[in-house]
Amino acid sequence: MKQKETLLSTLSQINGFSIEEMGDEHIGTSADTPLREDAFELDDELKIELIEKHFKEIMQIMGLDLSDDSLKGTPHRVAKMYIKEVFSGLNPANKPKIALFDNKYKYNEMLVEKDITFYSNCEHHFVPIIGRAHVAYIANGQVIGLSKINRLVQYYAKRPQVQERLTNQIGEGLKEALQSEDVAVWIDAKHLCVSMRGVQDVNSATVTSFYSGKFKEEQTRNEFLRSFS
């Protein structure tokens, strides 16, 4: 009994914050998405089956009548949505394959892909984050297809997230894909865990940025910011 009480106390306090406070303050504890080592030992179909079972139990606990035609398929729909859609970015097998092409045009100025709309989910309450990303890079000897930038943003967005981590993951992912340091990311997003619950502020938005290489220089960074402001 004492061991159980000690464990519960430890779980309820992390780095001086209670679990509830960490969620309300949007505190992140890891630069990488926290995943167990055995995260992909189960195949997708089994994960869907297990999530369906547990989500059905949640709905029953809330008192919903799952014999109703509108509700009886919901546990399966939610489970399939989690694995195949909104959290598909957890699985590295879904990471977009990005091919590099020779920069035959010899274009060595800034390229900006702006207003990339994305939908993610807050890892503290599993409610949506709705935002737009502006991404830029300066080509060295190679370039990537424009759609691949969008796909990379969506890949990292489709997992439980905090915005700071999402911004860094997109930046580092683009650096890796381009084999270049000259990358910038700017994200403006609304968090429904702020507007739907808690403080219930429907007007505020959160802005985060990532600058690497030449984008750490004020002139280059300002050129990037002017491209979408």
Q: Assign residue 75 the CATH number of its domain.
A: 1.10.286.10
Same domain, 173 and 198: yes
CA 102 to chain centre: 30
Residue numbers of the chain with a pLDDT score lower than 70: 1-29
Active site residue 54: no
From the list 26, 123, 134, 169, the catalytic residue is: 123
Q: CA 206, CA 213: separation in Å to the nearest integer?
A: 24
- Residue 4 confidence (pLDDT): 47
Active site residue 123: yes
From the list 122, 154, 161, 169, the catalytic residue is: 122
Average pLDDT, whole number, for the chain? Answer: 90
Domains: count for the chain: 2
- Residue 28 confidence (pLDDT): 59
Active site residue 125: yes
- Are 185 and 174 in contact by the 8 Å Cβ rule? The answer is yes
The answer as to whether 72 is a domain residue is yes
From the list 26, 52, 125, 154, the catalytic residue is: 125
Same domain, 102 and 62: no
Active site residue 109: no
From the list 20, 26, 54, 124, the catalytic residue is: 124
Question: What CATH number did the domain enclosing 111 receive?
Answer: 3.30.1130.10
For residue 222, which phi and psi values (nearest 5 degrees)? -65, -35
Domain assignment of residue 57, given as a range: 40-86
Active site residue 191: yes
Domain boundary among 55, 86, 117: 86
Beta strands in 61-166 (DSSP E): 100-102, 110-122, 128-138, 142-144, 160-161
Amino acid at 2: K
Active site residue 124: yes
- Residue 139 confidence (pLDDT): 86
Give residue 222's region: left, alpha or beta (phi > 0; psi -120 to 50): alpha
From the list 26, 52, 154, 193, the catalytic residue is: 193
176-196 pLDDT, tens digit each: 999 899 999 999 999 998 888
Nearest to 71 by CA among 88, 58, 85: 58
